Structure 1
Amino acid sequence: ATPAPAATPAATPAAVGGGHDATKCLENGVPDNDCCAKPGEASCADGYDKTSTGRRCYRRGGYEWFECVPGASAPPRPVNGASPSPAPLATTAPPAQAEEDQVTTTVAPASTAALANTSSPAEPCVKTVRGWYCIPCRVFTDAGVHGPCRRDSTVLASMVFPPTQHCGDGGQCGRYFRKFVHRGQVYRRPQQYCKIYNYGTWLEHDTKAGYCISPPVEAYTNGTMRVRGSKEVYAAAFKWSMEQSGASFECSDEDFCRGRGVASGELGRCECACKDGFGGARCEDGP
């Protein structure tokens, strides 16, 4: 896998409308939720059929995108589909990239089932070149975020916050990225950790409502937060993703403040007024 929004834990919702479900992709029998593998090593979980797109996901090595669809309902696809040309990263944040991981704004492919009930195929959205998930630009503009849709923070948000990228049971996360490069250092299959976002900070979490993120990706997001408006970008993507996935988590006394304080605000920008001597962003520190 690569630093694209494809690091999906096993405990994820099925695809909407019977289309491609990235959580069913396997590489050598192991979950590989970016659905990028050599043809002979790619397969799908039981009950799903593999369909090759004919498009390379690595410049070398024979890796190709593939899809997993329920039963024998694989939709016909052109072998040589056109794809947008990659563009360079767009902000002044510290450079970080992975092989073939440039920023691009594109139109969500019709087979991206996670967007089927939220965005028309013609709606502008933003994602990494190798990513399968595209967050509609309106998510950011509707939240009052100014600036271009295509920039480091929005692309990273599409990587971290697909509605299917929640943590597993007990906040478990695996190693889904093949490689991620940040500030010249190569991280191979970095371990991910379950966290939630709250206006400029990543907070540890231990339920399926959290999102899996690795330390180098988190470090890169923290760098982009120095750019004006980026904190709001992540807050908007986090809140929208939670709503789309139906995750059981709210900016409430019980969920966010762990029953130890009074919550105010909204997802992505939630605050706790802790009680009984507790402290911390989520009243996690004991008296």
Structure 2
Amino acid sequence: MLDPFDWLGDRVAYDLLGLAGDSASGAAVQFFVMDVAKIFALLVVVIYVMGLLRALVSPERVREFVRGRPDWQARGLAVGLGAVTPFCSCSSVPLFIGFVEAGIPLGVTFSFLIASPMINEVAAVLLIGLLGWELALLYIGAGLLVAWVGGIVMQRFRPERWVEAYVWRIQMGEAAVPRPDTSLLGRHRFAVAEVREILRRIWKWVVIGIGVGALIHGYVPADWIAEHLGDGQWLAVPAAVLVGIPLYSNATGVIPVAEAMLGKGVALGTVLAFMMSIAALSIPEMLILRKVIRWPALALFAAVLAVSFILVGWGFNLIT
């Protein structure tokens, strides 16, 4: 039985626009329409459901939950909370500042900053729906590992000495936190607001990601992909990381590109490294983070992530 999203893509590409089924343009348009419908349908449902559950969770509560705990426990909480909060790399930086102001160790704070944009339940559900639960688990596991180890490595270099002085001078306020509306109607309103806000923030990146994936799916020959990025290409992984750094998206927006790359025969590790570099190591994030830490810490952070992503990519390519 034909998937309804496949059916919609077929109707638009082949019936409405009259494109040939075996043409590059037909394949690209069919992929684009199918993925736009599928991904946005999944996004609305998942964000709404998680919004109902997250009605009581705010960035301020996340910060207070982590503060004052032992280092190993705080790191585990920071990584876990980063994985279940839907913050992109740029929106998680203000919370990073709040962590620093609250006196949470900077290595723990970096663990959160790595995990938050790279892993979230929305991306996990999309990965399961589009690529299968095996790849979703591999991506999440690799992301958790990178966040945990990356924060420890950063802490070894004592990055506190590179935090801008004004951050240390900020005093934490004790303003009362308004009591949230925990009624069913209140949670519904919060969930609807979450859907609107998150979609408003990410829709263009999702569409761009789907568009890039559609171009790869329709126009890039599978033989060329296999030759340059396929199994056994050791330089393909660092190249994928370098290509991903200038791009700005999130884990959700890059999934359609990963889907097209895997469909063309790109090695799994190369795709994972590419996804991670886009989601957690983007130029906009670096520019915002520069307002908080100086260049040595910024260069160290970028180097730790880049090396981690390359090692993850090589490792998965060897395993698979």
Larger Rg computed on CA atoms? 2
Q: Which has the higher helix share?
A: 2
The answer to whether TM tops 0.5 is: no
Q: Which has the higher strand share?
A: 1
TM-score, L = length of structure 1: 0.25
Instruction: Flag the structure with more relative contact order, 1 or 2, with Cα contacts below 8 A and sequence separation at least 6.
Output: 2
TM-score, L = length of structure 2: 0.23
